Amino acid sequence: MSKLFAFSSLVLLIVLALWAWKDYNREWRIYQKTFYALENKGSTGINDKKRENRYEIKQIDLPELKRTDRCITCHLGVEDPTMVKVKLPYKVHPNFSQHPFNEFGCTICHLGQGRATTVKAAHGEVRYWEEPMLPLKYIQASCAKCHLISNPSVAPDLVLGMKKYEEYGCADCHIIDGVGEKGGIDLSLAGKHRSPDWHFAHLKDPQALVPDSQMPNFGLTDEDARVLTVYLLCLRKEEIPSRYVCPSPKSEISEAK
């Protein structure tokens, strides 16, 4: 009897120890440890004030945008201008003052799974997560949620994509927001496909993805297919609170003229 008790106690102890070990070695903890070490080494004075280097899940709550983004749990240096010559995820964000992260978070532009705390899940490379992180080469698709497509100083890929759409006569067979050939396939929500890779491959060679497709193979360059993909992806709509819509459409239009 006492042997059995001793044995089960031992098992319990081992399970607890393993659990504690696993908790201590969580992916994000290891990133935080490395970041805090980098900070102590590389600080140039800007961050000299005593820091609280706590091990914790860090998050940005954005009820208006219906998001909670925990990306900064690992991407700790996004607003730290001293974090230049360091690897991802510690690096400072390019142009980070344009969209303060406490108001914008991350997934509004990058997509991905805001609440997740492992690299794979956060970047959305998991089953049943419908919005995997946009590869950076397509990221300008997100700018159209708040900015005018036609503003080249914001998102040149969108301006180019729209131009290519006209150049190749896509509207001869397709409709976007009611404009285009009657009876054509509506692309207003980027069609039924969500994956940027699908769009890119389909544009390069429609018949390879859709056997017997009547869509012509235009012999597009990779660059043309890329900007067209950015343009198609930007057609997906998301409701955005008006204070985020930039700044007032009128002033942008007059600027573009």
Show contacts with ligand HEC in window 34-73 (CB under 6 A): 69-73
Tell me whether residue 93 or residue 163 sits nearer to ligand HEC (CB atom).
93
Q: Which tokens is 20 given? A: 């504690």
Q: Which of 78, 149, 201, 235 binds ligand HEC (CB under 6 A)?
A: 78
Q: Which of residues 161-200 bind ligand HEC (CB under 6 A)?
A: 165, 168-170, 172-174, 185, 187, 191-193, 199
Q: Which of 83, 155, 227, 234 touches ligand HEC (CB under 6 A)?
A: 155
Q: Which amino acid is at 4?
A: L
> Site for ligand HEC (CB under 6 A): how many residues?
73
Core vs surface per residue 6-43: b (16+ CB within 10 A) or e: eeeeeeeeeeeeeeeeeeeeeebbebbebbeebbeebe
User: Closest separation between CB of residue 205 and ligand HEC, Å?
Assistant: 10
Q: What is the rounded distance in angstroms from the CA atom of residue 109 to the CA atom of residue 121?
A: 17
Minimum distance of ligand HEC from residue 123's CB (angstroms)? 6
x/- track of binding to ligand HEC for residues 194-233 (CB under 6 A): -----x---x--x---x--xxxx-x---------x---x-
CB 50, min distance to ligand HEC, A? 23
234, 143 contact by CB (below 8 A): yes
Among 38, 76, 154, 159, binds ligand HEC (CB under 6 A): 154
Minimal distance, residue 52 CB to ligand HEC, in Å: 19
Nearest to 246 by CA among 143, 158, 175, 157: 143
Q: Does 140 bind ligand HEC (CB under 6 A)?
A: yes
Which of 11, 64 has the CB closer to ligand HEC?
Answer: 64
- The binding track of 94-113 with respect to ligand HEC, each residue x by CB under 6 A or -, is x---xx-x--xxxxxxx-xx
Please tell me whether the peptide bond between 89 and the residue prior to it is cis, using omega within 30 degrees of 0: yes
DSSP β-bridge partners for residue 61:
68
Read off the amino acid at residue 137: K
* Rounded distance between C-alpha atoms, residue 17 and residue 30, angstroms: 19
Nearest residue (CB) to ligand HEC, 8 versus 102: 102
Task: Return d(Cα 103, Cα 64) in angstroms, integer.
Answer: 9
Identify residues 120-139 at the interface with ligand HEC (CB under 6 A): 122-123, 133, 136, 139
Phi, psi for 185 (deg, rounded to 5) = -75, 130
Write out the DSSP string of 190-222: STT---HHHHHHHHH-HHHHSTT--S------H
| 9/156 with CB nearer ligand HEC | 156
